[in-house]
Chains A and B, each alone.
Chain A
Amino acid sequence: MRYKNLNRLLILTFFFFFLILPLGQILAQEDTLPPAPPTEVRASDTQNDNGHSITITWKLSGDDGAGKKDVVAYEILRSESPAGEFVVRGMVPAGNNTYQDRGAKEKEDKNYFHPYHDFYYKVRAKTLNSYSESGVAGPAQAYGQWFHLGKLPVFVGTLAFTIMVLAFISLARKGKKFYVRPLAGIDAVDDAIGRATEMGRPILYILGLGSAADIATIASFTILNRIAKKTAEHKTKIIVPCNDPIVMSVAQETVKAGYLDAGRPDMYQEENIFYITSMQFAYVAAVNGIMLREKTATNFYLGKFYAESLILAETGSVAGSIQISGTDEIAQIPFFVAATDYTLIGEELYAASAYLGREPLLLGALKAQDLAKAIVMISLASGAVAASFHLDFFLRLFTVQM
């Protein structure tokens, strides 16, 4: 019995010293062995950028994806000379073979990326306990491109649209009559101004929270001009509280031009077009107060609106004003539809300025938009067919790279 146990002990000792221990040492050595290095490392200027980036590509390490020396990440190192000190610029997880070494364009920035300067790169494949480095790639220089080829569809679209606008403006100037379908909201403008005149109450015109650069605000300026002209003809007061100082300045000029068009520059009162504050809800609180205290007969909300749309429209509704609204801010249109009498939905706001003005410049632009929409519809239908039959070349025509 005693000898039997001794035999077992000897067999276990034998296994431990001659099999398990060496195997463990081999495995431990394998963990610290470096992985196969990345190969075919290339560094070149990043295309379609402003000249402050170099793209590095490589062939993945042979140990990427499996085995004991499995690569977990790649580090990208940069130096200004092949034999110089390489500094780590970034890291990507295993399986990736591209890295963009980007920097700032301002010279004062610590991370400034010097264009037209030679840089050398190495890629380091890392396991948990070891690493191996590729050969040196380079020199590579970063430089900017004059034209972003990935945005060619945008260029073609803008150019084509510009030509269409110019062509239609030219036709309109030559006297060609263009039909514009009636817009319910705009047809109600005259009635709304007439109501204010009969009641002897002012008209409130809100340009929204957009800057003077927003397309919706620009469209709203055109409509404001027409409405100001009509209010001058009817001798009705118009109040334009503004959220932005530049918008206020443009609004003052617009209303003044409307009064001049009506032949009543003496009636123009600059103090009725004023700045309140740029803070959204403080502005709303003030406009709500104006609505109730001035007892405005008609409220126009035309421009860029955000969360304040329903608060304004509800207050106007409670005050019993006729309300005409219009915005291209999709999230706010439902509130205007629910709380105002007439709503110009999205592009109707842009069309309204042309419909009111009937000027060749605006009518030409509107007609060009309609033609552009027809082209978009045909392209969309063709694109759906192309996508259904996997005709990728057609879909690529409309792909914009950022």
Chain B
Amino acid sequence: MVTDLNTAIWNTLAAFLTFCIFSFLYKDNPFYKIAEHIVVGVSAGYFAVILYWNGLVPKLWNPVVKQGKWYYLIPGLLGLIMWTRFSKKYAWISRFSISFYMGIATGVAVPLYMQNFVIRQLSSTMLPVHFKNSVGFFNLLIIVGVLCALIYFFFSKEHKGAMGSAARVGIWTLMVGFGAGFGLTVMGRVSLLIDRVIFLKNYFTSIFGHIL
């Protein structure tokens, strides 16, 4: 609700930009371009400030200057040589930083993936199968679904014969999962739209309520 002139101005701008973005549903137009350029420019500037306060100051400036951890200068230097990309002659130096970053990132990612996406998922899928109640039967469905989905992602053999049938069951299993995921996310998106429509409704009520 608009409570003062300041809020009214900002809400008017927010409503205007919302309509500018929605106008893209019709076609690309100057209003959309204005909103697009504003949001890109503002977000880029905002990120520069965020990076300065959340990255540079606590992770480089404070450790080096306030805590005397001089070895933090090494990653600082690696960051600094990324600026050599602006020079055609010395751009190759930045590859040291990139290769260091990629090497570390890949090295960290491999055991992490092995833990979270292989071993722990495998352990969680080792379910007891029985026919005393529905749980045991659904466990069987889960295990068969996972095995067939894994067969679908087997690239060394052509999907023919029994393997082809199993792969087909695998892709059906995946599609059932994707369908459920699709429905769930669409619901979330519709709620976002409703939130925006409520904002516009409240805005118009507060501005033009006394006229209508």
Interface residue ranges, A against B (CB under 8 Å): 108, 151, 153-155, 157-158, 161, 178-181, 211-215, 218, 245-246, 249-250, 252-253, 276-279, 281-283, 285-286, 288-289, 292-293, 307, 310, 330-331, 333-335, 337-338, 345-348, 351, 355, 366-367, 369-370, 372-374, 376-377, 379-381, 383-384, 386-388, 390, 395, 398-400
Contacts and interface: CB of A to CB of B under 8 A. Distances in A.
Given A155-B111, A380-B122, A383-B125, 20 more contacts: A158-B110, A180-B156, A212-B105, A213-B106, A218-B106, A253-B98, A276-B44, A285-B40, A289-B33, A292-B28, A331-B181, A333-B178, A347-B153, A376-B118, A377-B147, A380-B125, A380-B147, A383-B126, A384-B128, A387-B128
B194 interface: no
Contacts of A151: 115
Nearest to A394: B126
B contacts with A: majority SS:
helix
B98 A285 contact: no
Contact of B36 (A285, A333, A380, A395): A285
29 contacts: A153-B119, A179-B158, A181-B157, A213-B105, A245-B82, A277-B40, A282-B42, A283-B43, A285-B21, A293-B28, A333-B178, A334-B181, A355-B155, A369-B155, A373-B150, A376-B150, A377-B150, A380-B126, A380-B146, A381-B143, A381-B147, A384-B126, A387-B128, A388-B128, A388-B130, A395-B126, A398-B122, A398-B123, A398-B126
A contacts with B: majority SS:
helix
B36 to A, nearest CB: 4
A179 B182 contact: no
Nearest to B192: A307
Given A277-B43, A282-B40, A400-B119, A334 B105 contact: no
Interface of B: 21, 24, 27-28, 32-33, 35-36, 39-40, 42-44, 46-47, 67, 82, 85, 94-95, 98, 101-102, 104-106, 108-111, 113-115, 118-120, 122-123, 125-130, 139, 143, 146-147, 150-151, 153-159, 174-175, 177-179, 181-182, 185, 189
A278 B114 contact: no
A370 B151 CA distance: 9
A108 B58 CA distance: 13
Contact of B43 (A108, A178, A180, A282): A282
Contact of A383 (B122, B130, B153): B122
Contacts of B95: 253
A181 B155 contact: yes
Contacts of B24: 288
Contact of B182 (A214, A286, A338): A338
B39 A373 contact: no
A255 B43 CA distance: 27
A114 B145 CA distance: 50
Nearest to A178: B156
B155 A215 contact: no
A285 B158 CA distance: 41
Contact of A157 (B28, B35, B119): B119
A334 B114 contact: no
A371 B147 CA distance: 14
A276 B89 CA distance: 25
Contacts of B21: 285
Q: Which of B33, B150, B155 has the most CB of A within 10 A?
A: B155
B182 A335 contact: yes
Nearest to B143: A384
Nearest to B92: A253
A285 B125 contact: no
B193 to A, nearest CB: 13
Contacts of B32: 289
A373 B122 contact: no
Contacts of B27: 292
B102 A366 contact: no
Given A282-B40, A338-B182, A376-B150, A213 B127 contact: no
A400 B115 contact: yes
Given A366-B155, A373-B153, A399-B123, A285 B85 contact: no
Contacts of A282: 39-40, 42-44
A249 B105 contact: no
B159 A181 contact: yes
A384 B129 CA distance: 7
